[in-house]
Structure 1
Amino acid sequence: MAARIDHTTTSGTFSLDGQTFDVDNNAWVVGDDTECVVIDVPHDVEAIKELIAGRTVLAILATHAHDDHVRKAPELAAEVGAPIFLHPEDLELWRLTHPDREPERGLADRQVIGVAGTGLQVLHTPGHAPGSVCLYSADLGTVFTGDTLFAGGPGATGRSYSDFGVLVESIRDRLLTLPEVTTVHPGHGESTTIAEVLPQFDDWVARGY
């Protein structure tokens, strides 16, 4: 059975720098009928468990450690018996939400996470957060970008731990070099493609989006 992508959207809040906002987050599950990995666990464990549908969860992969992406990760990990993976440069952010519980494993640039006969390659893409990563599957023609890249522009960089210049370099060097047919599945909002992003990117940079 070939690997497939399942998706749900959950609603909750994002809090940082003393402010809280309502947000809708995407959560993604990649796998076949037997096993899967979960990408980000925002607000609703039950909604994600419906996508898992009894499959073995090999890993919970955090694209970064903002609370709206990892708030329910420990709860899901305990329920399905899976380790949480996070890039070590985001541990400080992680501890703002989960001070008493560390992720089991780190993510490293170019590391490949295997699931259902395919691989998700880790691309370290700092800028939105120091340990932000994207997860690229050449087999599926897809990159999961967390909050690094959206259909409408780069991720936000107006808060602590973020840097617009670093984000621009990450997108230009790590994402815009992927095949143009690659589907971009972000942490919020609609999906897009690298081909759709390319002609807009320089304008986004000029405007300091």
Structure 2
Amino acid sequence: MRINADFSRRVVVRFDDSDWVPSPMPGVERKMLDRIGAEVARATSIVRYAPGSTFSAHTHDGGEEYLVLDGTFCDEHGAFPVGSYVRNPPTSRHTPSAPDGATILVKLHHFDPADRTEVHVDTAARDAPRLPLFSDSREDVAIERWAPGAEVSIDAPGGMEVFVLEGGFAEAGDTLRRWDWLRLPPGTATKAKAGADGARVWVKSGHLVHVPADA
């Protein structure tokens, strides 16, 4: 399966215009933002767990990174409420569940195979114009708050993803709102303008130059 698999192209996926796709587990659905592979895939998705749903135990050979958008996401390592940002590195294993339901933004199989760094940040408990979540030689991940009407210069030599958590912004003629996703290819230089209510966005940059050539 290949969805938005050309990382040299700019992509916009609007939450309201994309469909939920059932996963192999009852009660777990996905909106696929990009994907290379079948059930085990390099992928970016919004995943919705119905109350009481679970996913079978599995190992993340390529790592997993997620941000809880709604509800509480659980596994044997804890209960992660809205705003929790978690990085489970390659070789990590867990059994996800959502007793009361949950929605997460998740990325799979994009880690350096040697990465063993675990991260857990409660972003709901911290408010700042820029909240760093993770940074290494390959990528930078943060949550940014853009003031109403602010013009934001974007320089993305290594590519960038921007996911709207609150508010919205305009870029290159497109307007993005809550839970919309923008992917900019390596070498992009552009400007975004926050809407009247400002914008709170999850931003990941630098990582798209590390996509394998045969992906």
> What is the TM-score normalised by the length of structure 1?
0.32
Q: Which has the higher strand share?
A: 2
Q: Which has the higher helix share?
A: 1
Higher relative contact order structure (alpha carbons within 8 Å, sequence separation ≥ 6): 2
Q: TM-score, normalised by structure 2?
A: 0.31
